Each structure stands twice: as structure tokens, then as C-alpha cells.
Structure 1
């Protein structure tokens, strides 16, 4: 692969220092002074790269691997060639994530669009808005009346911050995002095109068969260390608030309805739709393409398989899947039974043809 101009290599971290920073054990102290400049997959890693392995299925890729180090569990370290130092850890995926953050710090959040710093001449900041020292606003961004933004926060080109919105410190508001009727914590990342705080989808039956819009006067509360993906939409509450808990990570193209409350440290994958007034506990993981019914409760620690339809409450700690979503053991049993019946029908059809 040609040199990546978007994410250039690091100037170099000693392998021994990298091992200490990510909490891994270096298998061969003789390699401690090797310089690591970047990350790469096993099959095309070159000198200066570090990569990681999770299973033995990558064995064949090692034939073309020239990495300066491989992160892996001790259980599979024996398949790594002797000339490649190993960083031993029981959590190679986590260790690799830490290494990547050290080697490619600029890739950890959306980058600057322009080279200007401070408040650009081409930005519009309402005179009544309050920006702490160190806030950066790029050209064509708009900061509304009474808005408050904390130091270290960057508002990218074309972003819109509505009236009276409050944004904490060290946040990144990416290009084209809009934030209305919201209170945003510290160290929050909002990716391009996200829409936060617009009114929710609420209507009452009209007198002549049409629909009458229900007023939406709640807010969106986004707590610290949340990340919100590109083109994700989070509606403000009807009368209560829509809340995204601390440390939760939301992928691209997710729809979160009004009054939804999502707990701390959840993971919500692309194309999930969560209908209004649903309550989601802490540490919940929801697979891509899942639809979640409104006015239900999903307990702490629940895992929902991709492409599921969650129609009713899910108890804490459960693993659900399917449409309608049900305990994973029941879902897998149903799939096995359907496969068996399909096979039997095929056999009967084949016998008739003979």
C-alpha cells in the first residue's frame, strides 16, 4: 500500500516502551529497541508495524508478515515466527486498540477541515454566545444565541450549534452536524452529519382523519465520553429528556426516538432504530439493523443479536436474538428446527422426482 497521507506514520516508539504502555509482556528483550511507527494487518505488515492476532486462523498470513512485533495471547504465540517479537497479553484486542491510539493519535477523532485556528473569520458566532478560551470554530460554522462551549472543543465547518445549547470541554463537533436543545458533556465526539435535538415523531389523531403534531419540549442530555456516529439522529424528548449515558458509543445511521434513555457504556451498532420512551440499562450491546419497540425496558448487560426485532421487555443479563427477539437458546433452537424441516422437505421432493 502506498504511503497514507491521511494518517502518516508515528516518529517512532520503542517496542519496550510500547509494551509497558499497553500492559503487555515482550517475549524477547533483545527487540526492545525496535522502533514502531504504525499498525497494519498481519498479511501485509512491514518493518516498523505492529499487528495483532486473535486466533490460529491467521497462520497462513504469517508467511508474508514482516512486522516488528505481533500482539497475541500466549496460547497462540508458538505459531509466530522466531524473528518477530511477541507482545504477550490475555487481551490482544484491547492492547492493539491502546497501541493504535498511541501510534495514530490524530485518527482517534475527526480531524481539522481547515488550517485555521481559533474562531475563523468565516464562522458566525452570535454576540451573546459564550466561548471559553481555546474553543476553535471553523469557517461556515454557526453558533447560536446564548450557546455555551467549553475550552478545547472544536466545531468543524458547516456545523450548527443552536440557541442556548451547552457543550462541555474537549469535544469534537464534526462537519455538518447540528445540535439543538441539548446539553453535551465533556470529551464527546459527534461525527459528520449527526442530527441531535430535533423534535421527535409525535402525532395525535385529528378530527378529520389527519394527524395533529404533538409539541416536543424536552431536551437531549449527552453525558461525558459519548461518541455519536455519522448521520445518526437523536430526537429531543416530548416533555421529559432523551438521555445518552456516559461512555456509550453509537455507530453511524442510528435512530434514537424521543424520551429514550440509554445507560452507561452501551454499544449500539449501525442502523439500529430505538422507538420512543424505551429505557436501556448499562452495558447493553445492540447488533446492527435491530429494531427496538417503544415503551419497553432492556435491562443491564443485555446483548441483542444483529437484525433482531425487540418487541417487549428484556431481563438484565440476557442474550436475545431473532424476530421477535427471544432468548438466544430458543432462537438458535428454532433456527435448527427450521433448517431440519427444510432439509426433510427437500429430501421428500427429491424422492418424488426420482
Structure 2
């Protein structure tokens, strides 16, 4: 069957040029004119592919790899077979990511769903009171509400909805089917398909009779520059304050951010995380997948939270926590080791009784 390329290989980048662009060093400058066209894991790399390694565990895969070149730390150069060109890097993982951007620039953000050449599709609806700077692209079936403002170079995908009075900065991508309302969005923000930004937060008061009465949600969502928000993630607007996503923060798919949450700069939040309302999260915080964060607590700068943790109380800056309820990582690992030991003991005793 003929292979379908959603992201066709690059025409080619000389290894000498790539090394210069990355600030890496060719172990043998005689290979400067060799060319790479794609990226690949070590185990299935072919001629024209670039790989990277971070440890010695790749030794066996390297022996059978057909990669043209590999990025690695100087300490690992001796592992690389003679048929693979070495680019010596102080940060091979980071440089591999940068090389991927050079080889596949179109994969860095959601692409247009149509090939229409008009900047604003006649099949889109743009309210006459909306203001779009030159160079904005709006795909078919998108809706731009009254008073919305969108900056130069931004792209609004097919079927996306930009609510009334929303402000979107320059060079942003709002992908197909996303909804942005009651929000102020900075520059160079990426919002992936199906994300929901600025809808009601979850707030109710006890009713006079059995049941609950809805509390109005009249705040905003503030998304600062260089933020990326994954597919089907939801970020609720504030109740009377703002929900804030700090500069450079990256949020995975299917994350829920409640009303009035404030997330700091350069955080990483993995899929299925739920953050309850009015939580404060510092700068550089990393939260593992499927973790739950209680409301009205504070998580300090630089905290790391293991996947599937339940955070119920404040965490001081710089700590590593895990488990349910979340506790310092050393305590969590000790508890897990004790549980494993007790389980093993019970199995052994049961086996002895059977005999």
C-alpha cells in the first residue's frame, strides 16, 4: 500500500548547517555535507533520519540503526557506530526538538483545514463590529462575534467560535472547532481543536428548597503570551475575578481548569489533570497526568507532582509530591515499598498454607 505522508520529509538540511543552527558540534567535520530530511526514533531510523540518545541503554539499537546522524552528549560518543554521524550536544533532547521544528515547521501548530486562498472565507461569519488586523486568516464556518479584536498573523480555524469582545493577539492559532469567549489572549498562543475557553465556572449556592441556585460567573480568562492549550481542554472564566494562564505555560489535552484558578509562568500540565476553583499555582510547576488538585490551595514555584496524585493541601515551593493524598515524594515511595513488601509477605504465607 502506498504510504500517505501527512508531514512529508524535508528537502534536506546539511549537517554542517544544522550543527550551526543548534550550536552543536560535528564530531567529524568531513560529514558536514551529508543531509538529513526527517526525525526518527533510533530503532527504526533510515537513511536521511536524525535521532538522539540520552543514555547507554540505546547501545543495541544503535548497532542496527540506519540513521544518518544522532545527537548525543559527549560522554556517549563512543557508543555511536562508525556509519552514523555524531552531532555533539550539551542538550540533545532540546536540540532534537529544535531540529524537528526546522525539518517540520508545519507540524508546530494546527494546520488549516482548507486550501482556500482568501484571508477571510466567504463561508465564515465575521460581525461587522469585529476588528481584524491585516494578515488574519479565518476559515469556513468560523464565527467572529461583535467587538472581537484579532491581531495580525493570527489564524482562526474552521468552525471555531470567537465570542463578542474577545481580544486575541498576534500570531495566534485558534484551531478547528475551538471556542473562545470572555477571554483576553496574548501573542503567539496556540489553542488546539475542540478546546473550550471562557465558559461558565461551576458555582452554585444552596437553594431555599432542596436543590441549588446558580451563582453568576462574570469574570474573564486571561491567557498570556506563548501559551499552548491542548485539544478538548476546558478553562472556565472567573466568577467575579479572572482565571489566569501564565506566560509560556503548556497545557495538554483534556485538562479541566476551574474558575479563578491562577497558573504561573512556564508550567507543564499533563492530560486529565483537574484543577478546582481558586487554586494558585506558582511558576515552573509540573503536574503529572490524571492528578486532581483541590480548590483554594496554593502550590509553590517549581513544585513537581507525580501522575495520578490527589493534592488536598498547600505544597511549599520546590517540593516533589505524589500519591493520594499527595505527600512528599520520599514518604510516598517509602509507603509504596512497604505496601509491596506486605503484599509479597501475604502471598508467601498463603503459598505456605497451601502446601
Match of 1:111 in 2: 111
Match of 1:326 in 2: 327
Q: Does 1:256 align with 2:248?
A: no
Measured in 2, the distance between the counterparts of 1:262 and 1:135 equals 29
Between stretches 147-156 and 334-343, larger displacement belongs to: 334-343
Between stretches 196-205 and 62-71, larger displacement belongs to: 62-71
Instruction: Give the 3 Å change call, closer, same or farther, for CA 15–2 of structure 1 in structure 2.
Output: farther
Residue 63 of structure 1: CA displacement? Answer: 3.1
Residue 90 of structure 1: CA displacement? Answer: 2.4
Between stretches 184-193 and 18-27, larger displacement belongs to: 18-27
Normalized against structure 1, the TM-score is what? 0.98
Measured in 1, the distance between the counterparts of 2:35 and 2:340 equals 53
Match of 2:157 in 1: 156
Match of 2:225 in 1: 224
Match of 2:44 in 1: 44
Residue 2 of structure 1: CA displacement? Answer: 6.3
Residue 7 of structure 1: CA displacement? Answer: 0.7
Measured in 1, the distance between the counterparts of 2:2 and 2:238 equals 48
Between stretches 34-43 and 118-127, larger displacement belongs to: 34-43
Residue 3 of structure 1: CA displacement? Answer: 4.7
Residue deviations 1:226-263 (CA, integer Å, cap 9, x gap): 00000000000000000000000000000000000000
Match of 1:203 in 2: 204
The gaps in structure 2 that reach 5 residues or longer are none
Measured in 1, the distance between the counterparts of 2:133 and 2:4 equals 35
* DSSP-derived class of the 2:99 partner: helix
RMSD of the alignment, in Å?
A: 1.1
Match of 1:84 in 2: 84
Match of 1:190 in 2: 191
Instruction: Give the 3 Å change call, closer, same or farther, for CA 285–321 of structure 1 in structure 2.
Output: same
Residue deviations 1:178-235 (CA, integer Å, cap 9, x gap): 0000000000000000000001000000011100000000000000000000000000
Q: Does 1:28 align with 2:28?
A: yes
Q: Does 1:69 align with 2:65?
A: no
Match runs of 1:277-296 below 5 Å = 277-296=278-297
Measured in 2, the distance between the counterparts of 1:237 and 1:88 equals 48
Measured in 1, the distance between the counterparts of 2:2 and 2:33 equals 26
Match of 1:11 in 2: 11
Normalized against structure 2, the TM-score is what? 0.98
Between stretches 312-321 and 113-122, larger displacement belongs to: 113-122
* DSSP-derived class of the 1:340 partner: helix
Between stretches 116-125 and 71-80, larger displacement belongs to: 71-80
Residue 350 of structure 1: CA displacement? Answer: 1.9
Between stretches 23-32 and 232-241, larger displacement belongs to: 23-32
Measured in 1, the distance between the counterparts of 2:2 and 2:55 equals 28
Between stretches 127-136 and 90-99, larger displacement belongs to: 90-99
Q: May I ask how many residue pairs the two structures share in their alignment?
A: 354
Residue 64 of structure 1: CA displacement? Answer: 2.8
* DSSP-derived class of the 2:321 partner: strand
Instruction: Give the 3 Å change call, closer, same or farther, for CA 95–215 of structure 1 in structure 2.
Output: same
Match runs of 1:94-173 below 5 Å = 94-117=94-117, 118-173=119-174
* DSSP-derived class of the 1:102 partner: helix
* DSSP-derived class of the 1:312 partner: coil
Residue 4 of structure 1: CA displacement? Answer: 4.9
Between stretches 97-106 and 70-79, larger displacement belongs to: 70-79
Residue 47 of structure 1: CA displacement? Answer: 1.6
Match of 2:311 in 1: 310
Between stretches 21-30 and 128-137, larger displacement belongs to: 21-30
Between stretches 53-62 and 334-343, larger displacement belongs to: 53-62
Measured in 1, the distance between the counterparts of 2:314 and 2:55 equals 36
Measured in 2, the distance between the counterparts of 1:278 and 1:81 equals 51
* DSSP-derived class of the 1:18 partner: helix
